[in-house]
Amino acid sequence: MTKLLELKNISVYHKENIRVKNINLTVSQGEKIALIGKSGSGKSTLISIANGSLLPSEGNVIWKGNNINKISKRESSNIGTIWQDLCLIEELNVAQNINCGALSKHNFLWALKNLLGIIDKELCQECLTAVHLSKKDIYSYISKLSGGQKKRVAIARLLRQEPEIVLGDEPFSNLDPILSKNILNLLINQRKYYSIKIPETILISLHQINLINNFDRIIGLKDGKILIDRPFLDIKSSELDLIF
Ligand SMILES: Nc1ncnc2c1ncn2[C@@H]1O[C@H](COP(=O)(O)OP(=O)(O)O)[C@@H](O)[C@H]1O
Ligand SMILES: [Mg+2]
């Protein structure tokens, strides 16, 4: 399998406060990985390291053979993140936010048109229906949406981005269970949704233990260290008790 992302001997610490320690992890193309662990175990830190937004105190992050700090902006758009705090632009409408996912694929003029009105309307609507929002929501302003709707717009923006890998920091935390299952099913089992290419590789953190059976590999963190890294089918429930 082609290696996409490699975390090599990663540690993050601030003075004596250790956030993650000696993390070694390789993600290959096509893998569906759930990252589990209690609050404070290091999930968000690991996701931020993996997408290159947080520099580790020690170790290297490699994206397709190159140091993640050295890759071009265009290449880095192949790494898609669903941030815990979503990073939506409250003053823009839903379509404009969704199109922000595709900024790196277009030029300045396209970005300017996106700021001035609604462009690529059908594509934005496909991304919205994929996350079970209504087509007419493209006109809504982010500031008027509920927490769960905002989360789904952030996922729609990620779909518009069409990255090679999805890194998600608790992407289903405030979605109801049926919606979470449906969106997870789209990410894990579908290759295409109308004209949108669904990312093949996913690494997402979860605290909903009932969703982990959808993944083929489980990584369990405890106190900043990897305690489990195994196929889902090999995990014993006693090991989950150690994590939680
Ligand atoms: N910006 C920060 N500065 C210092 N310590 C942090 C920071 N963010 C998180 N931590 C600490 O790092 C550890 C891991 O946190 P985090 O990665 O947010 O865990 P999780 O996402 O699993 O809840 C915790 O002990 C937390 O208090
Ligand atoms: Mg977190």
Whether 110 maps to a domain, the answer reads no
- Residue closest by Cα to atom 16 of ligand 1: 42
For residue 41, the ligand 1 atom closest to its alpha carbon is 22
How big, in percent rounded to 5, are the helix, strand and coil portions of the chain? 40, 30, 30
Whether 140 maps to a domain, the answer reads no
Dihedral over alpha carbons 124, 126, 127, 132 (to 10 degrees): 120
Confidence band (pLDDT; 50, 70, 90) for 210?
confident
> Which among 10, 11, 38, 44 is the best mutation to test ligand 1's pocket, defined by most ligand atoms within 8 Å of the CB?
44
pLDDT at 125: 97
pLDDT at 27: 98
Distance, CA of 225 to CA of 89 (rounded, Å): 34
Ligand at shortest distance from the CA of 170: 2
pLDDT surpasses 90 at 83: yes
pLDDT at 41: 95
Distance, CA of 115 to CA of 117 (rounded, Å): 6
Whether 145 maps to a domain, the answer reads no
Whether 11 maps to a domain, the answer reads yes
With 0-12 CB in 10 A as exposed, 13-18 as middle and 19+ as buried, what is 111?
middle
CA of residue 21 to ligand 1 center, whole Å: 12
Cβ of 40 below 6 Å from ligand 1 = yes
Whether 186 maps to a domain, the answer reads no
Whether 219 maps to a domain, the answer reads yes
pLDDT surpasses 90 at 15: no
Q: What percent of the chain has pLDDT over 90?
A: 88
pLDDT at 203: 98
CA atoms within 13 A on the CB side of 20: 30
CA of residue 233 to ligand 1 center, whole Å: 29
For residue 46, the ligand 1 atom closest to its alpha carbon is 17
- Total domains in the fold of the chain: 1
Cβ of 45 below 6 Å from ligand 1 = yes
Whether 9 maps to a domain, the answer reads yes
Number of Cβ within a 10 Å radius of residue 210: 10
pLDDT surpasses 90 at 1: no
pLDDT at 127: 97
pLDDT digits (tens, 9 = 90+) for 139-177: 999 999 999 999 999 999 999 999 999 999 999 988 999
Q: What residues does 167 pair with on adjacent strands?
A: 81, 203
Cβ of 180 below 6 Å from ligand 1 = no
- Residue closest by Cα to atom 25 of ligand 1: 40
Whether 236 maps to a domain, the answer reads yes
Predicted TM-score (pTM) of the model is: 0.94
What residue spans of 30-120 are helical by DSSP H? 43-50, 73-76, 94-100, 108-116
pLDDT digits (tens, 9 = 90+) for 149-158: 999 999 999 9
* Domain span at 67: 1-76+199-244
Confidence band (pLDDT; 50, 70, 90) for 12?
very high
Q: Which residue has the tokens 């789209």?
A: 186
At 231, which CATH number? 3.40.50.300
For residue 170, the ligand 1 atom closest to its alpha carbon is 21
Burial 40-62 (b: 16+ CB within 10 A, else e): ebbbbbbbbbbbbebebeebebb
* 8 A C-beta contact, residue 166 and residue 203: yes
pLDDT digits (tens, 9 = 90+) for 101-119: 999 888 999 999 999 999 9
pLDDT surpasses 80 at 208: no
For residue 221, the ligand 1 atom closest to its alpha carbon is 22
pLDDT at 145: 94
